[in-house]
Each structure stands twice: as structure tokens, then as C-alpha cells.
Structure 1
């Protein structure tokens, strides 16, 4: 079964880059939304400074919060325009943060290791999410943690089309916490789930499943 190719996915997100931050939980322009995400990140991260790989960083809003909290983030996104927007956002705030262009499923971080690997709403875009999760766990230092901000917000046949071949994505539309935990448990010393139902996080009331998973190596 054909799956989306990297070029089409990259082009999709390149086209979305200019308006991506219009969503309250993307741009974090509302001070209340921004503070809510800053508080959650602070609760999930080790004490700063920690080395954090922010996968699928988009325009770098969470990357910036991490830098502001004293961490050493590295951003990664498949979309060159998203990555460039993130670089500008971080630089304008006075932070010299590396933002790479690459595939989150196979991060260009050979030989590197991190205290935290972070990904937000990324699993649904991956053709092989289980393999990606194994890779991400392998990038963690001893006692490091994988932080996944995820949800199950629509079925694969609802809403606008993604890209050609998207119907083959295993978790298109998101994934519930149960199946995600089933994949992670063999690779983690501990795993916990934290519901993310507070409307302040999203700038609106939500009616679907949203949560964070924190898996420790």
C-alpha cells in the first residue's frame, strides 16, 4: 500500500507555515495559553539545563519556551519553511538554537543523545510510528524521558485530505493513549499518562482525547 513520500509531506507543511501560528496552541500568542504550556513543559522537564530534542518543532513555539526555561533545545522539522520560521522566532527572542531540517522518524542526530525527546501531535503523520518510537527511546540518555503530546481527534476518513497516500498512515487522525502505551512499555522503565483537557491549553473547549505520555528510559 503506497504511503506519503517525504517531499509531498514537506510541501504540505511548507504551505501551512505562514498561517500555522494562527492556531492558539501553535503560536501561543495568547498569554494565558502560553503560560499554560510553559507550566506543563516545566512539569515534564528535568531541572535545567537539559538537552532536549524537539521533533516536528514546527514554528518553534515550544522550542522557544524550553530555551526561556534554561534548557538547550534542538529543533527538527521536515519542512524547510517551518524550520526557518522557528529559527527567526528564536533569534528574535535572543536565543541561538539549532533548528535542523529532517525526518523525525530518523533524526539526523547520529551519535547524539538527549535528556529529553519531545514531540507534539506528530504520531499521526508517521508511516511507521512504532519504529519511530523505538528510535526516539534509543536517543535518550540513561534515565532520560520521552514526552509525547498526543490525542485522538478524528477518524481517518473525516476532515480535509492530508497528502496522497495518507490513508495508509496507521495513526491518521491521532491515536488513543492505550495503543501508544502498549508500544512504549517494552522500551521504557516507566510510563505515565497525563490528560490535557484544560481548554486554556488549546484556546477553546475540546471534546476529543488529548493527553501527554511521559516515558522514562
Structure 2
């Protein structure tokens, strides 16, 4: 992706930052929603604490949950406004974390124990290359957690003018994502999430799941 495309995407998410946490599963403001995500994270991550890379971290709500239980978290997002809100959120809570403005598809940094990615692959013009990069960032026996879905809308058109087309613009089914990830890892499992209303702040009708893979 060219620097101009990345800049356009950053502007798009900068504009969304102010209202991002209004979505129940983004802001985690409701105690039940926050507890539901904390419980899922505890089940997906091996006992730690671990070095965790939260890619496409947005305003840092999942980073905060991870930091609360002692994980060493680095969040990466292309949007400076999202990163600023994440830094403020964790600082206000007295939680340590590092946040970096950068391309989540090709993040900077050293190897980590866990790569966590939520609702990001649909935004990428080359999600398969990003998946290979993320697996390559993991230490031996590391864990990749992808929280994804196949949305009710979206047709692959870019959401930023003149950006490349999006192969998974409408999201990706668990079957297709598992088939893509399987050759890169030693094992994986899929956990369906669509029937857990607490995660989303209410019922959803599209496919939502977590794919947990280990090297």
C-alpha cells in the first residue's frame, strides 16, 4: 500500500475516533460487555504474563483488559487520533502500555508471544500477506488470536477513495480464514461468538468468531 493510501486510511479512522467508543464492543463501557471480553481473552491467551501485540488497537479497550491482568502490551494503529485516545485511556486507568502509530499490516517491533487482531483483516488490500507477517512476529509456541466475522454488508470496494480493493471487504468466513491460516501454524481452533450477546451489547445476526492459532 502506498504512503498516500495509508495517509487516507489514517484520516478516515482519525475522523471516526471521537465516536469510536460509542459502540458497545469498542468502548466496553458496560460492565457486562467488559467482563465478557475479559473472560474471552483469558480463555484465548495462555497463562502469562506475555508480550502482546494488539494490532489495529483503536482506542485501546482490549489493550486495557490485557494490561489489567499483567500482560506487556504494545498497541499499533494507523490513526494518530486512535492512538492518542488509547494512551489517554490507559494512563487515566494507571495501566502501563506502549502505543505506536503504524501500519498494522506490517507492524514494527521485535518478536512477541501473542498477536491479537480484532476486526482488521476486512480493511486490508492484501490480508494474506499480513497474516504471514503476523505469524512471523511470533516467538516459538506463540499464539495468534483473530477476532473476525462475515458482516451483513460490504462488497470489497475500498472505503477510502482510490485505495486498493479489499478482498475481504465484507469480512471473511471462519472457514476461509481457517483455510488461509492453517498452512502457517501448527494448529488452530475456531470459537463462535455470534450467540454471545454480551460481547456486542445485544444480539447480532452475522457470523462472528475467534480463530486461535498456535505455532
Alpha-carbon RMSD across the aligned residues, in angstroms, is 1.7
Alpha-carbon distance in 2 for matches of 1:162, 1:24: 22
CA contact (8 A) 1:166 1:172 kept: no
CA distance, structure 1, for counterparts of residue 93 and residue 131 of structure 2? 31
Q: Does the Cα contact within 8 Å between 1:155 and 1:173 map onto a contact in 2?
A: yes
- 1:121-200 equivalences under 5 Å are 121-157=119-155, 162-165=159-162, 168-197=165-194, 198-200=196-198
Partner residue, 2:85 = 85
Q: TM-score, length-normalised on structure 2? A: 0.94
- Which residue in the other structure is 1:117 paired with? 115
What is the distance in 1 between the residues matched to 2:97 and 2:73? 7
| CA drift at 1:47 | 1.2
Q: CA offsets, 1:18-57, max 9 Å, x none?
A: 1000000000000000000000001111212100000000
In structure 1, C-alpha distance between the alignment counterparts of 2:54 and 2:155, rounded to whole Å: 29
Aligned length: 212
SS at match of 1:19: helix
Cα offset, 1:123, TM superposition: 0.3
Cα contact 2:49–2:71 (8 A) shared by 1: yes
Equivalent of 1:212, from 200, 207, 210?
Answer: 210
Structure 2 portions without partners, runs of 5+ = none
Deviation at 1:124, TM superposition (A): 0.3
SS of corresponding position for 2:18:
coil
- CA contact 1:60–1:90 (8 Å) conserved in 2: yes
Q: Do the aligned residues in 1 keep the contact of 2:56 with 2:77 (CA within 8 Å)?
A: yes
**2:67–2:96 contact (8 Å) kept in structure 1:** no
Change (3 A) 1:136 1:167: closer
Structure 1: gaps (5+ residues) = none
Q: Where do residues 13-24 of structure 1 align in structure 2 (5 Å cutoff)?
A: 13-24=13-24
Displacement of 1:155: 4.0
